[in-house]
Amino acid sequence: MNIMLVTTWMWLFLLILHVLEGGVFAVDSKQFNILYVIADDLRPTLGCYSDPVVKSPNIDQLASVSTVFHNAYAQQAVCGPSRVSFLTSRRPDTTKLYDFNSYWRVHAGNYTTLPQYFKSNGYTTLSVGKVFHPGIASNHSDDYPYSWSVPPYHPPSFKYEKRKVCKDKDGTLHSNLLCAVDVSEMPLGTLPDIENTAEAIRLLESMKDSHHPFFLAVGFYKPHIPFRIPREYLKLYPIESMTLAPDPDVPKKLPNVAYNPWTDIRKREDVQALNLSFPYGPIPKNFQLQIRQHYFASVSYVDAQVGSILQALDDFGLAKDTIVVFSSDHGWSLGEHGEWAKYSNFDVATRVPLIVYKPGVTSPFPRPGEKTFPFIDVFQGTREQFGKGRGVERVVELVDVFPTLSHLAGLSPLRHCPSSSFKIELCTEGSNLANLIRNPERELNREAYSFSQYPRPSDSIQENSDLPDLADIRIMGYSIRSTDYRYTLWVGFDPVRCQPNMTDIHAGEMYLLAEDPGEDNNVFDEFDHTHFMPRVCI
């Protein structure tokens, strides 16, 4: 009898201890659904990241009940390589994808993906829009049937995205960068992300009574160029209120190899009409303001789509049972350093939003009938005031999402990959951030790092500098981002063996962030770099 009493009291003590540490038994024992929302080319220009211009009330509302990672970074600032990296939790040197022209299961290793892991654990896995990068990079199938239970959905109207559908003042149609439109005049009378939203809501409704948990990934196409968005969103950002980037000039000490000449921007008809010189331009100031206006408007357009999907979680009774992750594949330069687009190692190209919501952990469970995510109409003119959620300042990476989400869902933890993992199907090169989500850091960890990289064909700036094919890569820029600095080495690279030569240094960058948060003053030549070298060899 005494033994039974002792056992009972020990069990109660462990239960109380678990609750005090931030957990609840019921939370971890149940199966949670997953909603993973991915924007395309979205830097953290959001209200919840203290951006003073952008109106993003629905994402801000999500952030208010979530953990918000303020220093999250992509592993390569271009769509295909980044998506394969965070969906496999492997770095580009392991996926061997630096362009769009290979399928990792054939070219590198048969790596298990994030949705595939959930599928193997009984989840119904569903893909809407741009999750994997289309084409060869995902075997022309978005990695179906490995990753998904049913064939992924792609909106029919996306085929018009690069066609001449942008109406000029004279009524003629063009393929422009700036492309605010009347949706009713568009082919099929809609836009891709509007179709993505409708399909995601339809899938949520179809799964609300399912006996199996679901993993739903929704990939929005915006704010990727062209800025083909509903015209009304421009009204949120009057052009007279727009400002240029705080550092619109190319830094004097920036190595040529580090600069991206934004060639995809130059291919648009309205940009071609500006007759810009290659590689630096610059773009006229009035057009720079319009680019920034259209980018911000695109973010608000995506925010509305996200808000509709989040409200559907409430409408179908799923908010209390669904983990939500919101992120993007990389950032986008808006004129900083005289650059546009991505294709670099700067913060503006590699830093991403990362927001994680788990009911009962990042916020209390919603009460019966209580709405967690009521839709907010940005055009109502009210600037909603939300809490900032649980902020985490520690440097983290997109390769961390896979092990973190698996842990939050209660799946078996992933082991960390050994130095050579090409033959290992399931492991992670990231870190599990679940403890930071349950118990936000009390002290900033200055020993945390993110690693990014970007390939170049040459030391000089070329037409293919932004996106060289693998066979043309001769230099790789390996970059470390800590709380205090960004350090980048541009070194020789063998595209056949996919290996760098760390002794063949072509150029370097060093930015001390406390005094230079915009990464404008390269002080590389002022430092002894010996102690940095081992950390760059990733």
Query: Can you tell me the distance from the alpha carbon of 357 to that of 240, in angstroms, rounded to the nearest whole number?
Result: 37
Candidates 448, 449, 453; CA nearest to 499 is 453
Query: Can you tell me the distance from the alpha carbon of 439 to that of 448, in angstroms, rounded to the nearest whole number?
Result: 17
Query: Can you tell me the distance from the alpha carbon of 308 to that of 292, in angstroms, rounded to the nearest whole number?
Result: 25
Q: What's the half-sphere exposure (Cβ side, CA atoms, 13 Å) at 364?
A: 5
Q: Which residues contact 304 (CB under 8 A, 6 or more apart)?
A: 58, 377, 378
Query: Can you tell me the distance from the alpha carbon of 300 to that of 388, in angstroms, rounded to the nearest whole number?
Result: 18
Strands annotated E in 268-321: none
What order of strands is seen across the sheet that includes strand 485-494?
A: 450-456, 475-481, 485-494, 499-512
Query: Can you tell me the distance from the alpha carbon of 525 to that of 508, in angstroms, rounded to the nearest whole number?
Result: 8
Q: Residue 195 in contact with residue 106, Cβ under 8 Å?
A: no
428 bridge partner residues:
416
Q: What is the CA radius of gyration of the chain?
A: 23
For residue 259, what are its two tokens? 């600069």
Query: Can you tell me the distance from the alpha carbon of 226 to that of 219, in angstroms, rounded to the nearest whole number?
Result: 16
For residue 67, what are its two tokens? 């953990």
Helix/strand number for the chain, H first, E second: 15, 17
Report the length, in residues, of the chain: 538
Q: Residue 78 in contact with residue 473, Cβ under 8 Å?
A: no
Q: Please report, as a single letter, which amino acid is at residue 412.
A: S
217 bridge partner residues:
36, 127
Question: In the chain, helix, strand, coil percent, each to 5?
Answer: 35, 20, 45
Candidates 73, 78, 43, 74; CA nearest to 456 is 78
For residue 520, what are its two tokens? 């404008």
Q: Is 162 helix (H, G, I), strand (E, B) or coil?
A: coil
Query: Can you tell me the distance from the alpha carbon of 50 to that of 392, in angstroms, rounded to the nearest whole number?
Result: 14
Query: Can you tell me the distance from the alpha carbon of 37 to that of 26, in angstroms, rounded to the nearest whole number?
Result: 26
Active site residues: 79, 133
For residue 64, what are its two tokens? 């208010």
CA distances to 39, 78, 264, 354 from 454, rounded to whole Å, are 21, 9, 17, 21
Q: Is 237 helix (H, G, I), strand (E, B) or coil?
A: coil
- Give the helix ranges, DSSP H, for 359-463: 401-408, 434-438
